[in-house]
Amino acid sequence: QLVESGGGVVQPGRSLRLSCVASGFSFNKHAIHWVRQAPGKGLEWVAVTTYDGTAGYYAVSVKGRFTISRDNSKNTVYIEMTRLRNEDSGVYFCVRDADPSGYSGWFDPWGQGALVTVSS
């Protein structure tokens, strides 16, 4: 199970941090991703952190503004979002990559999502 928190309304240019707490599986053995969905739109991959948190990779649209991290002692993944734009609005899902060999986009399970609204 994955439970996101930290969503809300934020002004453009400001920052917001989302958290995702995991339970029910060996957290420190899996890469964790963030995927977002703008209202009425499709799914967009945002970022991934490796199982040990030593590396993170980002979509071009958020690179340099978002930072993904994890604390394996707390079974928690974070995404720090800075310099937010209107187009960053949407539901942010935390997902486990179930691929035992690393990361492949095999997402299971999904969290329920955290709504982020960037608006003045």
Q: Which residues sit at the interface with another protein, rule CB under 8 A?
A: 33, 35, 42-45, 48, 57-61, 93, 98, 103-113
Q: How far is the CB of 118 from another protein (least distance, A)?
A: 19
Instruction: Work out how close the CB of 88 gets to another protein at its nearest, in angstroms, rounded to a whole number.
Output: 14
Closest CB to another protein among 18 and 111? Answer: 111
The minimum distance between CB 5 and another protein, in angstroms, equals: 15
Per-residue tokens: 119? 């608006």
CA atoms of 34 and 91, how far apart (whole Å) = 10
- 101 three-class SS: coil
Q: What is the dihedral of CA 38, 107, 112, 65, to 10 degrees?
A: -50
